[in-house]
Structure 1
Amino acid sequence: MMSTQLIALSLIAICITTLSLACQVRQHTEGESFVCVCNEAYCDSINTEPNSLPDHLTIFQTDKSSHRFAKSLIHVSDLIYDSNQLADVRVKINTTDRKQKIIGFGGAFTDAAGINLNKLPDSLADKLIEDYFGPNGLQYTVSRVVMASSDFSDRPYSYDDVENDFELKNFSLTHDDHQYKIKYIKKAFNWTSQLKLFASPWSSPKWLKTNGEINGLGILKGDPGSIYWKTYANYFVKFFQAYEALGIDFWGLTPGNEPSVGFIPFLKLPSLGFSGAMMAEFIKRDLGPALKAAGYDKNKLKLMVLDDNIPYLMNFVWPILSDPEVNQYVSGVAYHWYAQSMHEALTQFHSMYPEYFILSSEACEGFRANEKALTIGNWTRAENVVADVIEGLNNWSSGWVDWNLVLDETGGPNWLQNAADAFIFINNTSPEYYKQPMFYAFGHFSKFIQPGSIRLGHTIIEGEVDANIKMTTFLSPSNDLIFTFLNRNQKPIELSISGFVDKPFTFTFGPRSITTIIKPLK
């Protein structure tokens, strides 16, 4: 039950007027919540400055019913301090228990994203990029770039489709790179100099594969150290050199997206199969030396292994990280969210290999076989994203990267009709786009938990925390405490928080909500 004291707290909170533009709401019949509409005449923005003020808690709330980054301030003298007051949960934040640093948050530059951006008027496409990378948007700091085609392309292709061109004389970036990726990557860099790019291929050129196709069951021909494997290693070098010649530098790479898929007969996705042992040999004998010889050592380019679902993690990385001839080239591991209940394996990995960072490199909703790919205004999916981000962060992940930046209203294009949901989708027949609840929910991380932020430990000292309650705490580079809380319950949750200000206080988190509380650390 909500106490009268807690009701009073909502009256004490001072609503703040900022330069933000409010959401242009559109409710769809299928939606649990609403989307925000952007067109050439109007688009909402998220101006949160100032994020923190001395002796105040700055609060941002996004919820199912009505709010998108609603901002309020509470002076610390107006907080409800605990006095034998009942709370559903009591949590203690330990500001001296410092864990991993954040690399960043973001989304992927895919052909599908670029195709959809090209459908918009230039000014509106620019606004969409600003919504992700600008100071009045989500302030993305990490982006994945697909090397050549994925299923989210309009056709399968590589950068050298000339049979047996082992010297890669015919290697070249395609119009897909120039029209769908590069021009929007450059627009993103106009908004932020912090952006870290990492590259991921889905497949080698088909003539290097055993099945002779971009998609389907197949591995590299030959053996480690053979002309096939060395040609593929040089393919990576050519890619980085081609982008560098256009003024785009990369921070990292994964050697292959979901290498397990190349061994699964019924999956017809673009793929190239690698076991952990095969990947270890590829890195040791071919990829690692080729990158290093070209000037892309681990100081310049962070090589992340796995790039697949968490259940494969420990078995895959063992032959790689246990061999000094291989691990000398490796900086971290990347994982996908499609096995969402296994985050504790990340902590197991960290305890065994603390010198390697962990990054969530791909996630999307609408991937399950029994559900519609793209649903408009789906609040449950926003909660799923937040829950996964928090679970990852609390198990040593240093960031989280969404899949396609933007799709159309069918969840495409995808040349294999493997549609999905996205934080933003466009209208195929009208010049406008829509920001899903997931967009705003994810912004509670990307906007506030900037690179260099450090996770702080917390302890539940009383009460039960089930799957409907998630929380995490960070200390920002500017010395702000950042507390993020997810309440999936249909009722408010009263939380007693100690370690945030001088003494414990109680705060009520609304039903079906994501809340960020920020306070300068003295």
Structure 2
Amino acid sequence: MTTFKMYKSTGEEELFVSLSQEQLKPLDTDKETTTIHLDDQLTYQEMDGFGASFTDSSAYLINQILNEEQRDEVMTRLFHPEKGIGLSVIRNPMGASDYARMVYSYNDMPEQQTDPELTQFSIAHDEGDVIPLTQKALELNPELKLFASPWSAPGWMKTSGSMITGQLKAEWYPAYAEYFVKYIQAYVAHGLPIHAITPQNEALYEPGHYPGMLMPAEAQADFIKNHLKPAFVQNDIQTKILCYDHNWDQPDYPLTVLKQAGDEVDGVAWHWYGGDASAQTKVYEAFAGKEVHFTEGSGGEWIPPFEQAFSNVMRTGIHILRNYSKSFVLWNMALDENNGPTVPGFGRSTCRGIVQVNQQKKELTYTLDYYALAHFSAVIRPKAVRIESTSSDDGICSVAFKNADGSVALVLFNDGEETANVQTELRNEELLCFQMESKSVMSILIHPNK
């Protein structure tokens, strides 16, 4: 006997509700039926998971603004596989990003001074909020994987002399490689193994008002091949190296890095602020065996909530997974009522967190991104393998995975303007038939022969 667990959200409100089979709307006999065919014999990538980032701002809000009861609640709802939505990936900034209360690295020095031996290296800043919350997340979900990305090298290593603007000076490539080694070793000392790093967040963008660092493709290939990977080997570090960490619209960048340093690179990290997710497949097909990861995409005020913004996350998330990504990571885990805190001088923020922590009222709110992530992470578990899913109507988007326990996870999004009839099949055996409202989502966990 096949059993099902189902979750539904409509395009009208923030919901993630569990349904019984009896609660599904029967087919409308006056309409054609869309068939979703699943084939678990045709497989693709293995999933690491879904998540967001403990930026300095996010960690501060959750760890210091919320009370203990609220903090326990939100951490459980974010990371616990049964009591929550089971997020299993965290991407932490290495030092300050745009969402930090101050500009800092792990090796700041007075102006005109350098520290070639990194004697002043310290992750003490992270020990306040970021590390305790990351440890708690790992305790709640032992399958958690940690990713890390710097927004900038310490200012003294750069042409600008600052964490804002500039490039990494070639003379400091060895020291910067050691900077990564020390970071990874320091986190391991706190019981937090780093699964993967990228050498630079958004390497083609040089912001003038928050930490950033321009790193052309040839420079990144040189740094990885001749400095970072050798430093990892010398220190017996198994952390994976992902290149690029930027938008879909410049696939030539990762292609260049993989061509010049492919043996030292484990995969490519992508963002959604330009281009299309099909770029992931273009690079994947050019360099078979290199992992694909989606490491940052923020929701925000530029897309009106609820329906349009929710639909965008679902539509794009499905597309990301159908283009070989092993992860789907949004941006800030938490932001406040003003979409901050941000670094001084940043200006008005328009980004949205997975949760909102109101600093004035000390209130906790789960945003539409939380519910969108839930539709993926609650049914697609770590080590799940994507299987073939085809739809007879392009208006019904789908992605499916087979979990390690044999269950099949299916996420459906009705991108059409009308209610649709949907029929699902696995190996030509009919499973479920139901109606889907326009802009609604159905997440289905199928346990065959149980």
Query: What TM-score results when the alignment is normalised by the length of structure 2?
Result: 0.92
The partner residue of 2:315 within 362, 387, 404 is 387
Counterpart of 2:100?
153
- Name the residue aligned to 1:69: 16
Question: Residues of 1 paired with 2:431 and 2:76: CA distance?
Answer: 39
Q: Secondary structure at the match of 1:68?
A: coil
Structure 2 partner of 1:24: none
2:444 aligned with 1:444, yes or no?
A: no
Q: 2: CA distance between counterparts of 1:381 and 1:199? A: 27
Q: Which amino acid aligns with 1:423?
A: I
Greater mean alpha carbon deviation, residues 266-275 or residues 278-287 = 266-275
Find 1:417's aligned residue among 347, 370, 374. Answer: 347
Q: Distance in 2 between matches of 1:334 and 1:122?
A: 35
Q: Is the 8 A contact 1:151 1:418 kept in 2?
A: no
**Structure 1 residues 277-292: aligned runs within 5 Å:** 277-292=218-233
Please report how far the alpha carbon of residue 198 of structure 1 lies from its aligned counterpart in structure 2 after TM superposition: 1.1
Correspondence for 2:399: 472
Residue 233 of structure 1 aligns with an amino acid whose one-letter code is A
Aligned equivalent of 2:435: 508
* Separation (CA, whole Å) in 2 of partners of 1:65 and 1:390: 20
Give the TM-score normalised by structure 1: 0.79
Mapped pair 1:203 → 2:142: no
Tell me if 1:166 matches 2:113. no
State the shift of 1:157 in Å. Answer: 1.2
Could you tell me which amino acid in structure 1 is paired with residue 145 of structure 2?
K
Offset of 1:361 from its aligned partner? 0.2
88-97 vs 145-154, which moves further: 88-97
1:319 aligns with 2:256: yes
Amino acid aligned to 1:443: A
1:200 aligns to what SS in structure 2? strand
Partner deviation per Cα, 1:264-295 (whole Å, 9 max, x = no partner): xx643311111111111001111111121111
SS of 2:379's equivalent in the other structure is coil
Distance 1:261 1:73 in 2: 48
For 2:326, the equivalent position in structure 1 comes to 398
Q: 2:36 aligned with 1:99, yes or no?
A: no
Q: Post-superposition shift, 1:73?
A: 2.8
Deviations 1:328-382 (A, max 9, x none): 321111101112x5111111122112201111101111275xx7xxx7x633222
Larger relative contact order (CA 8 Å, sep ≥ 6):
2
Q: 2: distance between equivalents of 1:251 and 1:281?
A: 22
2:290 is aligned with 1:356: yes
Q: What is the letter of the counterpart of residue 310 of structure 2?
A: A
8 A contact 2:8–2:441 mirrored in 1:
yes
Identity among equivalent positions (%) equals 27
Q: State the secondary structure of the residue aligned to 2:137.
A: helix
Q: Name 2:176's counterpart in structure 1.
A: 232
SS at match of 1:459: strand
Pick aligned residue for 1:345 from 279, 290, 296? 279
Deviation string 1:143-173 (CA, Å, 9 cap, x unpaired) is 0111111111111111112221111111112
**Segment drifting more, 401-410 vs 412-421:** 412-421
| Partner residue in 2 for 1:219 | 167
* Pair 1:333-2:268 in alignment: yes
2:64 matches 1:126:
no
Tell me how far 1:128 sits from its aligned partner.
1.3
CA 1:122 to 1:57, structure 2 compared with 1: closer, same or farther past 3 Å? closer
C-alpha RMSD over aligned residues: 2.3
What is the number of residues matched between the two proteins? 440
Instruction: Name the SS of the counterpart of 1:97 in structure 2.
Output: strand
Tell me which of 389, 397, 406 is aligned to 1:458. 389
1:255 CA drift (Å): 0.7
Matched residues in 1 for 2:339 and 2:360: separation? 15
Between structure 1 and structure 2, the one with the greater Rg is 1
- SS of the equivalent of 2:204 reads helix
Residue 89 of structure 1 aligns with an amino acid whose one-letter code is: T
Provide the C-alpha distance between the structure 2 equivalents of 1:191 and 1:354, rounded to a whole number of angstroms.
34
The runs of 5 or more residues in structure 1 that have no matched partner are 1-53
- Alpha-carbon separation, structure 2, partners of 1:367 and 1:280: 36
Q: For the residues of structure 2 that align with 1:199 and 1:418, how far apart are their CA atoms?
A: 26
In the other structure, the counterpart of 2:54 is: 109
Q: For the residues of structure 1 that align with 2:26 and 2:150, how far apart are their CA atoms? A: 53
The amino acid across from 2:117 in the alignment is: E
Q: Partners in 1 of 2:447 and 2:69 — Cα distance? A: 37
Q: Are the aligned partners of 2:379 and 2:444 in contact in 1 as well (CA < 8 Å)?
A: no
Distance 1:367 1:231, change over 3 A: farther
